[in-house]
Amino acid sequence: MKKETLRKGFVFKSYEAPEQSLFDQLFEIFKELITHTSGDFDEAMDWLKELDKEYKLTNEDYTLDDFVQELKDKGYIREEIEPDGNGGMSITAKTERAIRQRALDQIFGKLKRGGAGNHKTNRVGRGDEHTGEYREYRFGDALERVSMTESLKNAQINNGIGNFDLTEKDLVVEETQFKAQMSTVLMIDISHSMILYGEDRITPAKKVAMALAELITTRYPKDTLDIIVFGNDSWPIKIKDLPYLQVGPYHTNTVAGLQLAMDILRRKRNTNRQIFMITDGKPSCVREPDGFYYKNSVGLDDYIVNKCYSMASQARKVKIPITTFMIAQDPYLMKFVRQFTQANQGKAFYTGLQGLGEMIFEDYETNRKKKIR
């Protein structure tokens, strides 16, 4: 009988996507739709019905009614009764987490998960990143930092193998890289211009915020992220509120956003503090001490612009860099951002919606590898 020859090597074949249940396929579409509709379940389902008609997403064995029932059974939606007696479906915290995770996968999908992340610096200190350098043991050093291999080697060299003795003088510890914490405030423009000219700019901004929030809470839990929105005024929002974020009939009060961001960061104990600002329009509003709103949407108003420059300088004095992500290409607006950035000695990126998430992540990663001064 002839023996078959076993061949070693690699077998290449076409990529086969992992099988997904019909629920999982529909749920992926649902998460995208619920983000675009700012958490409106009924509107998202109307869109899903239209897609089902056009692309035949469901079949006789599994209908959209079955999908809704499974969403209920798995805790992704719940029925709420309004005070007037009317009811409706709304998404749950479980869905909010799923949306944030999806945003993270979409924008930062190529990242590898790490442990409890902190920001690397070029300073040596307490941390968990080994540098490969050793020094003598000092009183107060934690026992887990003692390198047993190097310490035993010293004991053999100093005392000999025949009369082995391990003393304090033989102990060495391996240096670790100090890791700083980072406090970030993300400012999102919710003025009316974020949905003007037929371009939805608020949804990509929401996705970036959700992805950044999920990244920091899972990969860098010692860092802090505060999210604020600014229109005529500015106010903080919680991470769980991001899917429901909408623009309003607002002007752009950049000064109010910067004031609130700096107030938040002043209360943080972290040395490393930064502001990320996503905006597509020029500053067009400031609130006076008497409560009056001074507004001007025509061109760049010198009074409003100078207020912005003043806030940028104040942030620089307290060592808070501002990184502006400008979703606009108008030359006069780019000139304003350049002067604003110069006043703060921060950074500015002029970007479309396509690469916004990647740029924010890269800047966040870069800042955490150095000590912000």
Per-residue pLDDT tens for 354-368? Answer: 777 777 877 887 777
With respect to residue 116, please indicate whether it lies within any of the assigned structural domains. Answer: no
Per-residue pLDDT tens for 191-200? Answer: 998 887 778 8
The whole-number pLDDT of residue 121 equals 36
Cα 228 to its chain centre, rounded Å, is 13
pLDDT band at 7 (very low <50, low <70, confident <90, very high): low
Which range is least confidently modeled, 31-35, 113-117, 177-181? 113-117
Per-residue pLDDT tens for 318-369? Answer: 999 999 988 877 888 889 999 999 999 999 888 776 777 777 877 887 777 6
Strand partners, 277: 187, 324
What are the tokens at 22? 């019909």
With respect to residue 101, please indicate whether it lies within any of the assigned structural domains. Answer: no
> How many of the other CB atoms lie within 10 Å of CB of 370?
13
* Mean pLDDT confidence for 296-304: 93
DSSP 113: P
Question: Do 353 and 209 share a structural domain?
Answer: yes
What proportions of the chain, in percent to the nearest 5, are helix, strand and coil?
45, 20, 35
Q: Count CA atoms within 13 Å of residue 255 on its CB side.
A: 19
Does residue 85 have a pLDDT over 80? no
With respect to residue 123, please indicate whether it lies within any of the assigned structural domains. Answer: no
With respect to residue 41, please indicate whether it lies within any of the assigned structural domains. Answer: yes
Reported pTM? 0.75
Of 117-121, 225-229, 268-272, the range with the highest mean pLDDT is 225-229
Does residue 3 have a pLDDT over 50? yes
Question: Do 160 and 56 share a structural domain?
Answer: no
Amino acid at 53: K
pLDDT band at 168 (very low <50, low <70, confident <90, very high): confident
With respect to residue 326, please indicate whether it lies within any of the assigned structural domains. Answer: yes
The whole-number pLDDT of residue 338 equals 92
Q: 159 vs 15, which has greater pLDDT? A: 159
pLDDT band at 180 (very low <50, low <70, confident <90, very high): low
- Domain of 258, CATH number, reads 3.40.50.410
Per-residue pLDDT tens for 199-215? Answer: 888 998 899 899 889 98
With respect to residue 288, please indicate whether it lies within any of the assigned structural domains. Answer: yes
From CA 322, how far away is CA 347, in angstroms rounded? 7
From CA 87, how far away is CA 100, in angstroms rounded? 26
pLDDT band at 241 (very low <50, low <70, confident <90, very high): very high
Strand partners, 273: 183
Which range is least confidently modeled, 22-31, 80-89, 156-165, 221-230? 156-165
What are the tokens at 117? 């992340």
Does residue 14 have a pLDDT over 90? no
With respect to residue 29, please indicate whether it lies within any of the assigned structural domains. Answer: yes
Which range is least confidently modeled, 61-75, 310-324, 352-366? 352-366
Residue ranges of the alpha helices (H) in 16-169? 22-36, 41-55, 64-73, 93-108, 148-159
Question: Do 333 and 188 share a structural domain?
Answer: yes
Question: Do 166 and 190 share a structural domain?
Answer: no
Task: Tell me if 279 sits within 8 A of 327, measured CB to CB.
Answer: yes
Question: Do 193 and 340 share a structural domain?
Answer: yes
Question: Do 276 and 366 share a structural domain?
Answer: yes
Question: Do 366 and 258 share a structural domain?
Answer: yes
Which helix (DSSP H) or strand (DSSP E) does residue 218 occupy? Answer: helix 202-219
Question: Do 239 and 189 share a structural domain?
Answer: yes
From CA 358, how far away is CA 202, in angstroms rounded? 17
Question: Do 365 and 261 share a structural domain?
Answer: yes
Concatenated DSSP letters of 256-301: HHHHHHHHHHHT---SEEEEEEEE-S---EEE-TTSPEEE--SS--
* Mean pLDDT confidence for 121-127: 39
End residue of a domain, out of 177, 211, 243: 177
* Mean pLDDT confidence for 140-144: 72
Domain tally, the chain = 3
Task: Tell me if 270 sits within 8 A of 183, measured CB to CB.
Answer: yes
Task: Tell me if 263 sits within 8 A of 277, measured CB to CB.
Answer: no
Question: Do 55 and 138 share a structural domain?
Answer: no
Does residue 310 have a pLDDT over 70? yes
pLDDT band at 255 (very low <50, low <70, confident <90, very high): very high
The whole-number pLDDT of residue 110 equals 45
Domain span at residue 168 reads 129-177
With respect to residue 7, please indicate whether it lies within any of the assigned structural domains. Answer: no
What are the tokens at 200? 């939805």
Question: Do 237 and 160 share a structural domain?
Answer: no
Question: Do 334 and 208 share a structural domain?
Answer: yes
The whole-number pLDDT of residue 169 equals 80
End residue of a domain, out of 37, 70, 91: 91
